[in-house]
Structure 1
Amino acid sequence: VQLSNVRCFGGGGKGRSWKWRRMLRFPHISQCMELGNTIARDYSSLCVKQPIGRKLFCLFCQSKPELRHCNSLLDKMGEYEVQSDEDRKSFGMQIINRFLSRQVPDLHEFLSGAPFLQYLQSMYFERFLQWKMVERQPVTKHTFRQYRMLGKGGFGEVWACQVRASGKMYACKKLEKTHMKKRRGEAMALNEKQILEKLNSRFVVSLAYAYETKQSLCLVLSIMNGGDLRFHIYNIGPPGLEPARVRFYAAEVCCGLHHLHQRNIVYRDLKPENILLDDNGHIRISDLGLAVKLSGGNLVRGRVGTLGYMAPEVIGHEYYGISPDWWGLGCLVYEMTAGRSPFKRQGEQLTAKEMERRIQETEEVYRKTFSSETEDFCRSLLTKDPRQRLGCRRCGVEGVKSHPFFSTINFRRLDAGVIEPPFKPNVHTLSTHTC
């Protein structure tokens, strides 16, 4: 969002508000004692999973001469994970020669002992509690400035907004309560909020804040200014995308699906409109209202999603697990490559019954725009039998990542966000289509 060209509602068009910066002031540590008594003091959740907790624990270790080498080892291990395949072996040997011996215990096991207990008595943990108190401040519509509308959905609108205290931009998804009630969408909205609260993935939109007004339930999400994949497939140049972009977007979607599946979440609505690009050209999966969490490894049954992208087992009212998501990835790769969906030509009018028949009975057509690797990848994902589908076999997601279609993708580096996207959206061009 280019703020200089956007009308601002309140605040005079300024960025960070000095008045609202008071929200970011840390409370006195005496005000945090009650929180300190109630918070779960678990090493993994406090010092590994939470970014601010991890940072403060690292600062604590850096302040202790006897623990500094642990910090250095953690840093080097992080660097090792994003090394290219040709440099990985030599870099690993450097780590072994510098840090490791047969007597060295597991690093996190060591840090979770006496060092963690010392950390809990330090000023760094007090600072962590202050951060937690700031996080718990009430959020209302007055926390944000509102800018232009980014788009409309079935239950409301999406607006660009800015946190008054920090100046950071987000997308505010306003779900109108009257529309949700008429269309029985309350459960869907609550489901999306609850699932997003559990996720922390660079490939899925992040929920930063949630609040409600008299008229709306508001979800404040990662802002994605680069448009959706459908726009890029059909509105910029001839239909379809270049092979490098197809491969890159498919790989990032694969990582996003993997992160969801690790938490037993099935997405169930994978289509180009729901894949959004940021300013730099990275993608995120959005709109998780139809996602479902599998409990205890159980399967689910339900005809949900968008018909042109539904898997045969969904149309057939069968029980399923993660299989519809891998089918959706096959549809997505096909559409990005061919400039049309697998079972319907662009502009073709089909009845729902005919679309269902094609998905369940007919084979998709592959033309010369498909390389042999891309065709095999799509065929493997668009297998009618979910038990034989790529991603659903015994090798799981590793079978997808190791397919020749992804031979040029280093998934370790991709997961770390260090691979440069092959395309950077022109935000000015996009804004003329979305205003």
Structure 2
Amino acid sequence: MNDLESVHLSFSDLSTVTGSDSSSPTEMNPKKNAEEEEEDKEGSEHSILSSISYSSKDGVFRNLSYRSKPHKGNDFRWEAIQWVKDKDGELGLRHFRVLKKLGFGDIGSVYLAELKVGMMRKCLFAMKVMDKGMLVGRKKLHRAETERQILGILDHPFLPTLYSHFETEKVSCLLMEFCSGGDLHLLRQRQPGKHFTEQAARFYASEVLLSLEYLHMMGVVYRDLKPENVLVREDGHIMLSDFDLSLRCLVKPTLENKSNPNSSYNIEDPSCKFSVCIEPTFCFKPRLFKFNSKSSKLKWEPMFSTKQESVPELVVEPTTARSNSFVGTHEYLSPEIIRGDGHGSAVDWWTFGIFLYELIYGKTPFKGIGNRETLFNIVGQPLKFPSNISGSSSSSALSTDLIKRLLSKDPQKRLGFKRGATEIKQHPFFEGVNWALIRGDKPPNVPEPIDLSLLSSGMNSCKKTTVPKCDEGDSNSSSGSYLEFEFF
């Protein structure tokens, strides 16, 4: 494998297939998607997203995306796109040079594309291209529209930025962030023993947890968490991707008073010596300065007694969300989805538990020989942990306790069911995580910079083909030789 091939640049899930039980998994592509043809439409007419317009021609999209995304407001890519729109009136395929196919998913393919403008800095994007005829024929149009709408409202450090959306007669294109570090699935396979240390797993799990918390706050149930969908940016921090299986719903923020939030965590292992297992602590301990007239010094005193008073906390969990669709990836499906009981936001906390298990142990807990056996194990087999892990010491009692609570087969007893990420963040496993300043933490792995000359040389060596005939005569058609757009 050469240097270019060793850098996995997929923005879409490369392992996604639909309705297949007989596929044989491979080491690099171990997971398969399971989905009914019935699309999730319940609750969509009441969605908070339904009233937002996404037109790129009249400037509405520009105002929504550019001016209302403070986390990406200073990104030079916005300026480049705006320059093109001001110059040519609209953005289209002719403004991009397609460098490499990054991957493909169930509803389209993703390409590494460079914006052809006269700027000193390279403007690279991940361009997701979807065949509109295929979307209609396979009844996937609703899924594509759901993904576009969700991407349009996201503004979070660990979630993707949708820079623009444009269409030709036959294809629809989403212009998104490009992550040069690949995904956590490939990164995990490069680790000793093909698994992360518990410290590294805690780092990635913390950032993913904040992403899910934000999505739930925005009324989005993700439903497709897995290492392949967690991309690594050039700075080593993560970005969650792929929202075509997500469910939109209503959410009602509430402020609740909870006393001793950690007191319920009784770690089973009696040998555990962590202070959080013995004395419950609070995430927030506000204190006031008190002046001592005798010593003429300021000293700290608690604002309230932690033994008697309660701590207010914001809970933003879409507990009323319901869906009956059979969607997700087999190894990550929750028992309630497999049983057909209907599911809500708790499925994200089940997949979060599977995700953490895989990061630490290098495999998912219920995987069988085939998809049918995997589904049977999820519903009928108890959770088991490996006795040891090659290449590192065994996991702590804190991580196993957290995973057990997340992988409760009864969704109503699952950690996070009632209070969402607020409840999970208070688990002792995350002790020491500074949630407000987590972007300042040093990532376990920082990817090597991508050599664009390799991409250019690889492009020159490729067989040159043109874009499909469906774009001939379109004002947005690219001129010259480019990689052919392929669709799954």
Instruction: Calculate the TM-score normalised by the size of structure 1.
Output: 0.65
CA distance in 2, matches of 1:298, 1:383: 19
Q: Bigger CA drift: 147-156 or 241-250? A: 147-156
Report whether the alignment pairs 1:398 with 2:422: yes
One-letter amino acid matched to 2:194: P
Deviations 1:169-188 (A, max 9, x none): 11111122343334322211
In structure 2, the partner of 1:313 is 336
Work out which of the residue numbers 161, 184, 191 in structure 2 matches 1:229.
Answer: 184
1:413 to 417, 423, 437: 437
Equivalent of 2:412 in 384, 387, 401: 387
Alignment of 1:32-51 (within 5 A): 49-51=68-70
Select which of 224, 244, 259 maps to 2:214: 259
Distance 1:260 1:134 in 2: 33
SS at match of 1:302: coil
Question: What does residue range 60-71 of structure 1 map to in structure 2 within 5 Å?
Answer: none
CA contact (8 A) 2:158 2:211 kept: yes
Post-superposition CA distance 1:75-106 (Å, at most 9, x none): xxxxxxxxxxxxxxxxxxxxxxxxxxxxxxxx
Question: Does 2:369 correspond to 1:349?
Answer: yes
Q: 1:334 to 1:321 in 2, by over 3 A?
A: same
The aligned counterpart of 1:359 is: 378
Q: 1:197 to 1:54 in 2, by over 3 A?
A: closer
Q: Which residue in the other structure is 2:242 paired with?
A: 287
Give 3-state SS (helix, strand or coil) of 2:328's partner. coil
Task: State the percentage of identical aligned residues.
Answer: 31
Q: Give yes or no for contact 1:46–1:54 (8 Å, CA) kept in 2.
A: no
What secondary structure, in the 3-state scheme, does the structure 1 residue paired with 2:194 have?
Answer: coil
State the secondary structure of the residue aligned to 1:257: helix
Instruction: Quote the Cα distance in structure 1 between the aligned partners of 2:384 and 2:93.
Output: 50
How far is 1:49 from its partner? Answer: 4.8
Compute the displacement of 1:152 (Å): 2.4
Match of 2:145 among 181, 185, 190: 190
CA drift of 1:197 comes to 0.6
Change (3 A) 1:358 1:136: farther
| 1:238 counterpart SS class | helix
C-alpha distance in 1 between matches for 2:105 and 2:69: 32
Q: Does 1:374 align with 2:399?
A: yes
SS state at 1:201 partner: coil
Establish whether residue 177 from structure 1 lines up as the match of residue 201 from structure 2: no
Alignment partner of 1:305: what SS? strand
Aligned length: 316
Give the equivalent residue in structure 1 for 2:33: none
The answer to whether the 8 Å contact 1:313/1:386 transfers is yes
Return the offset for 1:53: 12
- Aligned partner of 1:304 in structure 2 is 327
Verify the 8 A CA contact 1:207 1:222 in the aligned structure 2. Answer: yes
Shift of 1:236: 4.6
User: For residues 427 and 49 of structure 1, what CA distance do their matches in structure 2 show?
Assistant: 30
Change (3 A) 1:270 1:340: same
For residues 369 and 154 of structure 2, the distance between their equivalents in structure 1, rounded to whole angstroms, comes to: 38
- 2:160 matches 1:205: yes
Match for residue 108 of structure 2? 156
State the shift of 1:280 in Å: 1.6
> Contact 2:71 / 2:155 at 8 angstroms: preserved in 1?
no
- CA gap of 1:332–1:136, structure 2 versus 1, over 3 A, is farther
Q: Which amino acid aligns with 2:359?
A: M
Residue of 132, 146, 169 corresponding to 2:98: 146
RMSD (CA atoms): 3.5
Q: 1:278 to 1:351 in 2, by over 3 A?
A: closer
The answer (yes or no) to whether the contact 1:299–1:319 under 8 Å persists in 2 is yes
Spell out, residue by residue over 1:367-416, the C-alpha distance to the aligned partner (whole angstroms, 9 max, x if none): 333211110111111011111111113x43122112111113111102xx
Residue aligned with 1:355, SS: helix
User: Equivalent residue of 2:98, what SS?
Assistant: strand
Equivalent position amino acid for 1:312 in 2: P
How far apart, in 2, do the equivalents of 1:318 and 1:300 lie? 9
CA distance in 2, matches of 1:232, 1:314: 29
How far apart, CA to CA, are the structure 2 residues paired with 1:231 and 1:375? Answer: 24
Specify the code of the residue in structure 1 equivalent to 2:330.
L
Q: 1:231 Cα deviation (Å)?
A: 0.9
Give the AA of the match of 2:409.
K
Tell me what 1:328 maps to: 351
Q: Which residue of 1 aligns with 2:303?
A: none
Structure whose residues are more often strand by fraction: 2
Contact 1:46 1:53 in 2 (8 A): no
**TM-score of the superposition, structure 2-length normalised?**
0.58
Distance 1:169 1:53 in 2: 15
